[in-house]
Chain A
């Protein structure tokens, strides 16, 4: 039913008085790590924010530090954004002459993401959020843009994307069999926040298709339903291993072995490629994973120690890739 014009006009006169409200930049409430630029950027209303778990200033080489996202996906996406928009990561004395762009990285809780997975890319225009892109969509967009052709590149890209499963496995392995130190390093989780930590560990298992891929490891968790007392004990004592976690250790060992078997092949493939967008993206993804493993996992962790011991050259190459931005 259409409202008669005179009635509509009468309605539109209300409210009789409207008081203007000063526009606010709600970005001020966030802890920001702006990307840098070598050029004097023309001010624009459009900007993007990459929300990541945590950002840490890391000295990659003596005298060369960068503010890095502490998880491989966040770091890789930050570096890809830097490459696409000709930006640089903040940090380092050599960058003093650069200007801050309006684009930035912001540490947020994983609860801020629509699917509880970070990073997310938030694009805004004049304080209005235009688009929130989830982690999965970012990966899909990068793949569609850089690996539309080339089956091998696409396969390597897929392998690098699935390293997220290994990352999740490593985090859980550390938490279950070592300590919660990794959660402090990667997520800035407070050691006193017990309930938040339990919730985080529960959520981590949903990332990188870990729960789907390793559903068999959850059989003993299912048995817990039949033994509520044991479940309560486990909950109270924290997420610590039990004798039934042998399967977990075996699966992790297999995943690690698979990774170190494939790593030289992947590195060789990337090295052998001619300079291209695809090469740059693959290089960034591998570098982000290795740099995060070496810098943000405890040095006693299997992955970190084996990388430093057996693949130091590759790690150095990865650091060089990151230092380019």
Chain B
């Protein structure tokens, strides 16, 4: 065994950290790593030079071979390798672009654990010695995701608890079709069953068609009621590698709002069955570096919903929702975020809006210093919501002193502002006045899946009907004001 092997074995035994190595051994390890990097760099530079010098070299893709692709339909695979099969003859540069495109298409479907691409040049035939065309067979070695996946668990916290079970079937028909069944029972959601089927549209990973069947019962504490919802939503969304993406959805649901210790007459008058059919359009522009806690970039979303498409619908409205976020890095330690939200519900065809469709403002993820749905009119402790709303927030995110700069814990100062307007008349009368404002400071933890906040909050100005939250306020979520 030579010195390198001996060292490698020693590093492996020590878990790779080299804690028990002598000074000389550490120096040797460093030099070995340096040599490895240098070789990789040299190799990469050589390949780049070779490719750039031969970028116009004609390449003929004889065929595309797939190993371990038995779980996929031929038509599906053919669609993914279309960039390679589109033309008979390619330049070397185009050939690599086509390889990348095919690889990305496969990855985007999220049905592969890994994918290795090997290139096999075919030997030239005796009569082709004068031709400069190289015949190549790319081989895609696929490692599919596990087809069946189940998980179960419980969530406890914040005075709530639930248990869930989820089954997931991936690549059901060999074309990246996914089927998810989800059942939840908890204190806030006594029962929820969801069946979610999704598949790429026309086998193209850029367009996803998603159909959701749902049956659930949710307690709405803000209006002391509970709502049983049964419905189906069909949605087509884009997954373009661009800043802007779109979605269009068609939703049908039957909602039954029932009394759950309610005292508000306004809400009582709304307790009934509603049949809703909606068409929803959504456009998103996103350049943020992180969706949960961005330090740079901007985000904008415009949503339009038109409800009451059929004769059997007993509610009708149009809804417009705007959301934006602008993040800017001030220096190494500080960044600011400016967020706005606004919404309008109109065109209710002469009837008042339904309480389930109205907007609500306030809460730890919205206008802080107020309880959930705490801003706006109330009747006997029930939040009535409003047809229009505006809210905004300015946050300063800072590194905690004497803590590593890559730590996920950050300091957070903010000012939030918001107002809910009951109807159009109130909007025109008091748009520019009497806003509810909250300020606060706290600590946040930026987990890749969600953001956790613990803030000390104080309301600065409020309307007499607002539900105020003074002191510590805790928030978890992916979307914050």
Contact = CB atoms under 8 A, between A and B. Distances in A.
B463 interface: yes
B458 to A, nearest CB: 5
Interface in B215-265: 254, 256-265
Contacts of A16: 460-461
A132 B453 CA distance: 39
Contacts of A116: 258
Given A19-B464, A112-B268, A114-B261, A196 B470 contact: no
A131 to B, nearest CB: 9
Contact of B380 (A14, A113, A129): A129
Interface string A69-100: 00000000000000000000000000000000
16 contacts: A16-B461, A17-B461, A21-B377, A21-B463, A26-B265, A29-B269, A106-B269, A109-B273, A112-B269, A112-B271, A113-B259, A114-B261, A124-B265, A129-B265, A132-B262, A199-B256
Nearest to A19: B434
A11 B266 CA distance: 33
A124 B464 CA distance: 21
Nearest to B422: A24
Interface in A1-38: 11, 14-21, 24, 26-27, 29-30
B312 interface: yes
Determine the interface band of chain A, counting residues with CB < 8 A from chain B.
35 or more
A14 B464 contact: no
A15 B461 contact: yes
B465 interface: yes
A27 B262 CA distance: 15
B268 to A, nearest CB: 4
A179 B275 CA distance: 24
Interface of A: 11, 14-21, 24, 26-27, 29-30, 49, 51, 106, 108-109, 111-114, 116, 122, 124, 127-129, 132, 192-193, 195-196, 199
A113 B311 CA distance: 28
A14 B265 contact: no
Interface in B396-431: none
Contact of B263 (A109, A132, A195): A132
Contact of B312 (A113, A127, A192): A192
B459 interface: yes
Given A29-B266, A49-B265, A193-B273, A14 B377 contact: no
B460 to A, nearest CB: 6
Contact of B462 (A18, A24, A114): A18
Nearest to A130: B263
Interface string B430-474: 000110000000000000000000000011111111001011000
B379 interface: yes
Contacts of B264: 26, 129
A208 to B, nearest CB: 19
Given A14-B458, A30-B265, A111 B275 contact: no
Contacts of B379: 24, 26, 127
A15 B434 CA distance: 13
B121 interface: no
B272 A109 contact: yes
Q: Chain A interface secondary structure, helix, strand, loop or mixed?
A: mixed
B257 A29 contact: no
Contact of B268 (A14, A19, A108, A199): A108
Given A26-B265, A111-B259, A19 B461 contact: yes
Contacts of B265: 26-27, 29-30, 49, 122, 124, 129
A72 B312 CA distance: 31
Given A124-B265, A129-B265, A111 B271 contact: yes
Contacts of A128: 380
A20 B377 CA distance: 11
Interface residues of B, number: 38
B190 interface: no
Given A14-B470, A24-B377, A26-B379, A114 B259 contact: yes
B320 to A, nearest CB: 24
Nearest to A195: B254
A109 B271 contact: yes
A49 B268 CA distance: 12
A15 B375 CA distance: 13
Given A15-B459, A111-B272, A199-B273, 14 more contacts: A11-B470, A17-B461, A18-B461, A18-B462, A19-B463, A20-B463, A26-B265, A49-B265, A111-B258, A111-B259, A112-B268, A127-B379, A192-B311, A195-B275
Contacts of A18: 461-464
A14 B460 contact: yes
B352 interface: yes
A122 B271 CA distance: 15
A109 B269 CA distance: 8
B461 A196 contact: no
Contacts of A113: 259
Given A19-B434, A129-B380, A195-B254, A14 B459 contact: yes
Nearest to A124: B265
B257 A111 contact: yes
A203 to B, nearest CB: 10
Contacts of A129: 263-265, 380
A320 to B, nearest CB: 34
Contacts of A30: 265, 269
A30 to B, nearest CB: 5
Nearest to A197: B273
Contacts of B258: 111, 116
B461 to A, nearest CB: 4
Contacts of A111: 256-259, 271-273
A15 B273 contact: no
B462 to A, nearest CB: 4
Contacts of B462: 15, 17-19
A233 B269 CA distance: 34
Contact of A17 (B260, B261, B460): B460
Nearest to B266: A26
Nearest to B376: A21
Nearest to A14: B458
Residue from the set A24, A109, A192, A195 with the largest chain B CB neighbour count within 10 Å: A109
A196 B271 CA distance: 13
Nearest to A127: B379
Contacts of A192: 311-312
A21 B464 contact: yes
B268 A15 contact: no
A27 B265 CA distance: 7
Interface string B368-396: 00000000010110000000000000000
